[in-house]
Amino acid sequence: MKTIGILGGLGPESTAAYYNYITRKYYELKHDYAYPQIIINSLSFKPVIDEKYTCAPMVAQAVQALARAGADFVVAACNSIHVVYDQVAPKASIPWVSIMSAVAEKAKAQGMRKVALLGTIFTMQGSFYRNAFDACQLDLITPDADDQRQVNRIIYDELVLGVVRPESREVVLGIIDKLGKAGAQGVILGCTELPFLIQSEHTNLPVLDSTVIHAQKALDLAIA
């Protein structure tokens, strides 16, 4: 069995969600407690928010620290940090498993052709998700500028801090409804905190939970 490395802290709630999912899902599958070893390197979120494209050296060092600690591969419990994926992953000594590729593969497997993306402004306006979906020949759409700002505010001012407000859920559901009317066949919760606010039972549009998809990918690789 392989050892999973998690780049965590981005934020703390999503890091805990990955750990809980992997360990609990393993028990459901195997009915024992011999789940894979998990090593977490908890990073400060501030440099990622402040520096964005220039945080690659910090992320590369964090990946290498997990490798030295014994991780066989790495997953990052954050979508936005994948903006430096193409800079860091090719040079890393162990694989960094991409969240956007895992989500694109899942969307394609479910027969989707056009998918909406929600996340931080950084994620929605970045190219890293779009490139992964282009590679799978899938269309990706995002909310308009005003809706992007609303989703971004809810993520940073509430969800990252562990605050879940029903009124914010209604705002996001309204945005999802607009994206469905624009032709989206599914919606990606492309921030690992968004699943604390939105679950599949809240909307008729199929939900692609990036946290669950990515954590499941990590478990599959560990026990393969």
**Which 3-state string (H, E, C) describes the chain?**
CCCEEEEECCCHHHHHHHHHHHHHHHHHHHCCCCCCCEEEEECCHHHHHHHHHHCHHHHHHHHHHHHHHCCCEEEECCCHHHHHHHHHHHHCCCCECCHHHHHHHHHHHCCCCEEEEECCHHHHHCCHHHHHHHHCCCEEECCCHHHHHHHHHHHHHCHHHCCCCHHHHHHHHHHHHHHHHCCCCCEEECCCCHHHCCCHHHCCCCEEEHHHHHHHHHHHHHHC
Look at domain 100-209 and name its CATH class: alpha beta
Domain spanning 4-98+212-223 has what CATH number? 3.40.50.1860
Reported pTM:
0.93
**Where are the domains positioned within the chain?**
4-98+212-223, 100-209
Q: What is residue 11's predicted lDDT score, i.e. its pLDDT?
A: 81
218 pLDDT higher than 90: yes
23 pLDDT higher than 90: yes
Q: What is the chain's mean pLDDT, rounded?
A: 95
| Pick from 5-14, 59-68, 116-125: least confident | 5-14
99 pLDDT higher than 90: yes
49 pLDDT higher than 80: no
Q: Do domains 4-98+212-223 and 100-209 have the same CATH topology?
A: yes
Please compute the mean of the pLDDT values over residues 170-197 and round it to a whole number: 97
Lay out the sheet containing 114-118: strands in order across. Answer: 139-141, 114-118, 187-189, 207-209
- What is the C-alpha separation between 191 and 216, in angstroms, rounded? 16
Counting residues of the chain whose pLDDT is more than 70, the rounded percentage is 100
- What pLDDT digit, counting tens, does each position of 108-136 carry? 999 999 999 999 998 999 999 999 999 99
